[in-house]
Amino acid sequence: MTAPFRGLYILVIGIALSGCIAPITAREARDIAHERLNKYCGGRCGQLAWSNTQKVKKRWLVDFDSKGQKYTVIVENDGNSRVTVWDKGATAP
């Protein structure tokens, strides 16, 4: 490989990898959360409606509402996610 092509190769690889390690946007977090919630529910959660997306430190909290429960999906910057379920009928002491 000649020097100019080697430089071009390194530049192209660098640009491609920079897209992989960039922080995710709110839209991407919402899409990841929606997919994760669909896997979690498997059609048993009823009608879900997106309600809020907020960034807290290095993670996104994406909220969805259903008739009796609220679902919060925590999406990390690396794309990992987990679901937390809150009962709407429960009251704080």
CATH number, residue 48: 3.10.450.630
What pLDDT score was predicted for residue 32? 93
Please give the Cα distance from 76 to 61 (Å, whole number): 9
pLDDT band at 43; cut points 50, 70, 90: confident
pTM higher than 0.75, yes or no? no
The structure tokens 């929606």 sit at 34
In the 8-state DSSP scheme, what is residue 23? P
Q: Please tell me the total number of residues recorded for the chain in this structure.
A: 93
What pLDDT score was predicted for residue 67? 87
Residue 4 domain-assigned?
A: no
Q: Which residues of 50-71 are buried (b: 16+ CB within 10 A; e: fewer)?
A: eeebeeeeebbbbbbbbeebeb
Residue 1 domain-assigned?
A: no
CB atoms within 10 A of CB 45: 18
Residue 69 domain-assigned?
A: yes
pLDDT band at 68; cut points 50, 70, 90: confident
Q: For 8-17, 39-48, 67-76, which range has the lowest pLDDT when averaged over its residues? A: 8-17
What pLDDT score was predicted for residue 53? 94
What pLDDT score was predicted for residue 9? 74
